Structure 1
Amino acid sequence: MSSKLLRLRTARQRHFLPPPLLQLVPVLLLLPPSRPASAAAATAVTHLPGFDGPLPFNLETGYVGVEEETGAELFYYFVESERSPGTDPLLLWLTGGPRCSIIMGLAFEIGPLKFVLAPYSGGLPELVYNPYSWTKMANILLLDSPVGSGFSFARDPKGYYVGDYSSSSQVQTFLNKWFTDHPQYLSNPFYIGGDSYAGKVIPLIAQGISEGIDMRQQPVINLKTYGYYLAYFWMNNNMTRKALGIKEGTTSEWIQCNIGLPYTYETPSSIPYHLNLTMKGYRALVYSGDHDLEAPFLGTQAWIRSLNFSIVADWRAWHLSGQAAGFTIEYTNNMTFATVKGAGHTAPEYRPKECFAMAQRWLDNEPL
């Protein structure tokens, strides 16, 4: 799948805005945070069912209210960077569907956990540490969005009637409240990224943050750029829910992708958002697995070309351990496109080592 990284800075630094993502293109954005009402109490998680011993990283989970009228609350996982949490980037990660659970990011793609796929003989699935976790270079905030995804819920059924615009607005509300409760991360470079359909919503979120920066709204976000059955058994286990701090009576059954709830598709194309954001100078990394059949990389190339940006560095292979890991091309307005050799729709799931190296180089402002 194609993915995008966008970057913004906090109010204390230059104000950058992330470019929007096109359909089915994940994006990373760096934003400066603001200061509204606080979030709900968080849970510090030191042990998880199925993981041997204490967690070798700092994990926090919690709920944040995003709509008083319907009692809508979004559930999140926050994993602190294992390198330098005080200065490393903060990455907000969303997933597709819409309404697929963010556990896919936590335990199948970029997070510090992964399920032991075989052998499995029933019972509680086993978890181990992911050596290619992006938490080795960044703080990661994984969010169940929109309402109805994973453990996010609404007390009034009307709260499940959301679309591209309302869900992106709720994410902005979430960020404002979360940063209010975590002010120590306000100066960290902030990025927004995600998988699949998240690529449609991320540009809307980035646009909203950018407009907030321009209007000097508070808090100011430092925006810089823009085996599944095992998960089912693990997430529906009572011990798991207790460890994660899941509110009783809010989610009867965890479902990987809750597609049965209503959702309004309001963004036929995110190209105008991408154009607006990149023209403002935000860095963007768009990447695609070259074996992605859901959102083929040729389609990603086509929409990038439609921006009519000049080529700065033409196609070349990028390498890892002496082997070609994909191809990359650089454009004006800080936009980079890369393919990941042998990767499918969710590239980090298929090629974790390669995607880790690619993201680390880009986040550290190094050539791919």
Structure 2
Amino acid sequence: MAMGKWSFFSGISICVLLNFASVAAAPKGSLITGLPGFNGVFPSNHYSGYVTFDDKNLFYYFIVSERNPSKDPVVLWLNGGPGCSSFDGFVYEHGPFNFEEGKPKGSLPILHLNPYSWSKVSNIIYLDSPCGVGMSYSKNQSKYINDDLQTAADTHNFLLKWFQLYPEFVNNQFYISGESYAGIYVPTLSAEVVKGIQGGQVPVINFKGYLIGNGVSGSQFEGLSALVPFAHGMGLLSDDIFEALSGLNIYDILEPCYHDPASDQHAKGNASSNLPISFQQLGATDRPLKVRKRMFGRAWPLWAFEKDGKFPSWSELALQGSVPCVNDEVATTWLNDESVRKAIHAEPKSIAGPWQICSDRIEYNGYSAGSMLPYHKNLTAQGYRALIYSGDHDLCVPFTGTQAWTRSLGYKIVDEWRSWMSDKHVAGYLQGYDNNLTFLTVKGAGHTVPEYKPRESLDFLSRWLDGKPI
């Protein structure tokens, strides 16, 4: 028996040492050894902490690839808002865990491994940016005043310092990704990274391209010019009636804003909807747990209230009764538990403040960088790869506008409009352009594509990162 125990624990020690050796230069104390709510073994190493500069403390959570850390790309993930935490993506979309609501209500959620985590094929960094978002903070309140160009400069500064902390990844291919208002974050940051490479900044980041999901572009192709044709084409309004939009969840037109999370909406259909059940079931998800970021309240995103480049705070919108359709109870419960914050090396609430899915403490001057079309044109013309994907049931940033602006770049079509497959089924459609630009739709997905279609999202990501046809 003693010999058996020795052999068993020696085996564990060898496995642990081999796994830990993959990030030999990681900052001391950054390794995450366990998480409240999860009873199991991490499939790969997790690290987290702060990168500090200019009185700003930017928080990151880094997951080493479960496939081949030394060869797989490094992917940075940014949620939008502006002002929303990238833990939105971590908890509800493509992070390493699926979160099961705790019982009784309000207790810590239970974590299960996510079979469709993007860490299956990439080393992924979840970054809370700009300063004042999520776990990122400053003791100088003036650092919470921000705009697009300052955010890009700060995130580039973060990357340079991060690769100094994790030098074994500096030669890996690097991609920038995000969704929604990250349609502004990603191109502006990409341009900043390219400028740094061309200017000889070290370390030299091995930047290869970017991907954006349901992202705004700051161009004439979005807003009502995209929303109205989309809504009309989906049969949501007649030629002369626009008022029907008031009761819709714009993040997923198949989901109501008011919904009982305990009910299986897609299994039995929505009795109040005029849509056939087969159409409603387009939004069904492969995610094994029913706890998703359900949509409640009035459905308009923060950018809809932009005035003269300024955005109201989320708390101001709440006072007006115009709260976006987001229920973040699971993430809020978990990330505001002090034992969780300690486990992920985040400062306590007394220092960094409570975690919010979208911060109400930042002042953001939005769309200050102008239209993103020149950015996309410049980046792709230089050979950087771009994947622009859209959930085709998103009314917040409809695919019609994204399809229009990608076409407007004027590139030659090299892969004519066609379906793409996942799990032997049509998962959506794509069109490939010259200069490594691809526009792709995901059938039945809402605004946050991996939340609705996790299997399909991992499929297109892995093929695209590996340079294989989608």
Q: What TM bracket, shorter-length normalisation?
A: 0.7 to 0.9
Cα separation, partners in 2 of 1:206 and 1:111, compared to 1, 3 Å: same
Q: Is residue 2:314 matched to residue 1:239?
A: no
Alignment of 1:211-250 (within 5 A): 211-226=195-210, 227=293, 228-248=328-348, 249-250=350-351
Q: Distance in 1 between matches of 2:192 and 2:422?
A: 37
Q: Deviations over 1:256-293 (max 9, x none)?
A: 10134211111331111000111111111110000011
* Structure 2: gaps (5+ residues): 1-24, 211-292, 294-327
Residue 43 of structure 1 pairs with residue 43 of structure 2: no
* Matched residue SS, 1:284: strand
Contact 1:97 1:259 in 2 (8 A): no
Contact 1:289 1:342 in 2 (8 A): yes
- Once residues 304 and 105 of structure 1 are traced to their aligned partners in structure 2, the CA distance between those partners, rounded to angstroms, is 25
Q: Which runs of 4+ in 1 moved over 6 A?
A: none
SS for the counterpart of 1:51 is coil
Q: Give the Å deviation of 1:57.
A: 2.5
Mapping 1:315-354, distance limit 5 Å: 315-354=417-456
Q: Which amino acid in the other structure matches residue 240 of structure 1?
A: V
Q: 1:72 aligns with which of 56, 61, 67?
A: 56
Q: TM-score, normalised by structure 2?
A: 0.68
Distance, in Å, in 2 between the alignment partners of 1:193 and 1:169 is 16
Does residue 255 (structure 1) correspond to residue 356 (structure 2)? The answer is yes
Tell which deviates more after alignment, 46-55 or 236-245: 46-55
| Structure-to-structure mapping, 1:189-204, within 5 angstroms | 189-204=173-188
TM-score normalised by structure 1 residue count: 0.86
Q: What displacement does 1:323 show?
A: 0.9
Kindly state the Cα deviation for residue 213 of structure 1 after the two structures are TM-superposed. 1.4
Q: Structure 2 CA distance, aligned partners of 1:153 and 1:42? A: 20
- The answer as to 2:363 corresponding to 1:269 is no
Alignment correspondent of 1:361: 463
Distance 2:85 2:399 in 1: 24
- Structure with larger RCO (C-alpha < 8 A, sep 6+): 1
Deviation at residue 301 of structure 1 after TM alignment: 0.7
Residue 59 (structure 1) aligned with residue 46 (structure 2): yes
**Structure whose residues are more often strand by fraction:** 1
Larger Rg: 2
Distance 1:339 1:125 in 2: 32
Partner of 1:134: 118
Residue 121 (structure 1) aligns with: 105
Please name the residue that 1:151 is paired with. 135
Relative to structure 1, is the Cα distance of residues 122 and 354 closer, same or farther in structure 2, using a 3 angstrom cutoff? same
- Cα distance in 1 between the residues matched to 2:29 and 2:208: 26
CA contact (8 A) 2:156 2:192 kept: yes
> Per-residue deviation at 1:119?
6.5
Deviation, 1:203, is 0.9
Relative to structure 1, is the Cα distance of residues 119 and 308 closer, same or farther in structure 2, using a 3 angstrom cutoff? farther
Q: Which whole-Å CA distance do the structure 2 matches of 1:174 and 1:40 have between them?
A: 15
Note if 1:185 corresponds to 2:198: no
User: 1:94 touches 1:143 (CA, 8 Å); kept in 2?
Assistant: yes
Structure 1 residue matching 2:31: 3-state secondary structure:
strand
Which amino acid counterpart does residue 402 of structure 2 have in structure 1? T
* 1:290-335 superposed Cα distances (whole Å, 9 cap, x missing partner): 0011100000011111101111111110011221000011101111
Any residues of structure 2 matched to 1:21-40 within 5 Å, and which?
A: none
RMSD: 1.6
Residue 250 of structure 1: how far off its partner (Å):
2.1
Extract unaligned runs of 5+ from structure 1. Answer: 1-37
Give the Cα–Cα distance (whole angstroms) in 2 for the partners of residues 53 and 351 of structure 1. 25
Shift in CA distance, 298/120, structure 1 to aligned 2, threshold 3 Å: farther
Q: Distance in 2 between matches of 1:98 and 1:176?
A: 23
